[in-house]
Each structure stands twice: as C-alpha cells, then as structure tokens.
Amino acid sequence: MNSQVPRLAFRSVSVEFGGLRALSDVSFDVSSGEIVGLIGPNGAGKTTAFNVACGFVAPTSGTVEFPDRGVTQPKPHDLASIGVARTLQGVGLFDHLTILENVMAGGQIRPGGGAFRGLLGLPSAGRSERQLTADALAALERLDVAEFAAKLPGSIPYGIAKKVSVARALMGSPTLLLLDEPASGLDERELDEFATLITSLKSDMGVLLVEHNMDFVMPLVDRLVVLNFGEVIASGTSSEVRSHPEVLAAYLGVEQ
C-alpha cells in the first residue's frame, strides 16, 4: 500500500443521466509516482469518469477529491491552479494559434497575466510573458518538436500534435496528469516514444490514463482500474487484472 496522501480520489462516485446510470459507486485513487490505467469496453464509463474528475459533470452522489490539496470537486478552470493537467481526446489544440502559443497556453495561470496589466502593457506582464515564451520553447525542445513552433496545428503530423498537447499539459508543472486516449492514432514508433515519455514523467507526478490499446497500456501502468457498465469490476496490477474472470468476460464476452 502506498502510504502517502493520494493526488486524486474517487469516493463512491455515481453519475446518472436522466435515469441512465453511467457510473455507479466508483472508488479508486491515484498517488504521486504511479501510472494508473482506466480501462474498459466502449460505454463502460471511462470518459464520464474523466469528466467527473475534471468537474465537467457533477456526480449524482459521492465525491471527487484532491486530498493533498484539500480540494473537493473543483470547477474545471480551477484544475490548473491545483496542479492538475488533462489532455483531451484527439489533440485538443487551439486551431488558430501557433504551436508555440498552444504550449504557452499551458502557462495561462502564471502570475502577471491580468487584464489591466495587459491593457497597460506593464513591464511585469512583459517579463512574465517573455519567461513563458522561453519556457514553452524549452518544452518543445525537450520533446524534440521545436522546429514546428511557428506552425499551426492543422499543418503538422498527428503524432507531433499529440506531443504538443503533452508539452502544453506539462507547462503548468502538474502533480497529476490525466491523459485521455494518449495512444490513439499513433504508429508503432510513436507509441514507444510516448511510453518512454510517460514513464519518465511519473517521478514528479501521478498519471491517470484512459486507453483502448491494451498492448500500450499493459506494460506501461503500475495499476489498472477496469470499468464495465459504470462499475469497477477489477483493479490491480496488469497481470492480476489480465487473469480476472470478470474482465475476461467483459472483454471477450466469455461466459463463466
């Protein structure tokens, strides 16, 4: 058992959409230094779980907590300030902003960005903005995609765009990273790169990811949480889950 305070905790979370139960009594947590995979067949409630975690959907009962910050059910725009970053399905970039600006957007909550300072063009705002530009460039360089800084998202390869969305998420120095289908649409080589990247991140933060690609998830994660019809049917290490009868049933339709 991990003795430290978890970064994210689902406590008996249930969500209903007009009588339809999307999540029922879901509990799990994510701590710093571990990668947790949230898996399950289509319609199992993975995306709903992510949306509840980010405050886009309110739970019908139960709570989502960020215990180390003492925050319960924050609003989506408060996530960045409590050290939570999330990537979106696809790439979720801003279409009419350059790649550099897209990454700079990850530092939106840094001090010195107020509207009045902006209008007046105060030197402090300028300094903060120049630092942000430099940091964003450094982030792009770290991921080896700095050459695309001036391009628009529509004109770069999909794999690069995915990296950019991770670079943006890292700009806020998060302590919890939520990755929504990070592997979708990537080729073999890119998948390997991504796995290495995500593994390299976990020393500083907790990572929760939703993924379909089992070949990608299984070796990567420390723990798995398996959802089916909105319920947690299994959780544990990859090998524990792999042999779990209910998981096999859910994935393969095998009758026990």
- By CB under 8 A, name the binding residues for other proteins: 51, 54, 56-57, 76-81, 85-86, 88, 92-97, 101, 104-106, 108-110, 112-115, 117-123, 125-126, 128-130, 132, 168, 172
Closest approach, Cβ 131 to other proteins, in A, equals 11
> Which phi and psi (to 5°) does residue 39 adopt?
-125, 170
Cβ proximity to other proteins: between 54 and 226 the closer is 54
Using CA atoms, how far apart are residues 69 and 8, in angstroms rounded to an integer?
A: 10
Residue with smaller CB distance to other proteins, 35 or 57: 57
What residue has token string 């649409």? 185
Q: Rounded to the nearest whole angstrom, what is the least distance from the CB of residue 189 to other proteins in the complex?
A: 27
Concatenated DSSP letters of 4-30: SPPSEEEEEEEEEETTEEEEEEEEEEE
**Residue 74 CB, nearest approach to other proteins (Å):** 11
Q: For residues 8 and 233, which CB has a smaller minimum distance to other proteins in the complex?
A: 8
Residue 105 or residue 249: which is nearer to other proteins going by CB? 105
Taking CA 240 as the corner, what is the angle to CA 235 and CA 243, rounded to the nearest 5 degrees? 110
The region, left, alpha or beta by phi > 0 then psi within -120 to 50, assigned to residue 62 is left
Q: Which is nearer to other proteins, 23 or 132 (CB)?
A: 132
DSSP 109: T
Distance CA 133, CA 146 (A): 12
Smallest separation, CB 119 to other proteins (Å): 5
Work out how close the CB of 236 gets to other proteins at its nearest, in angstroms, rounded to a whole number. 30
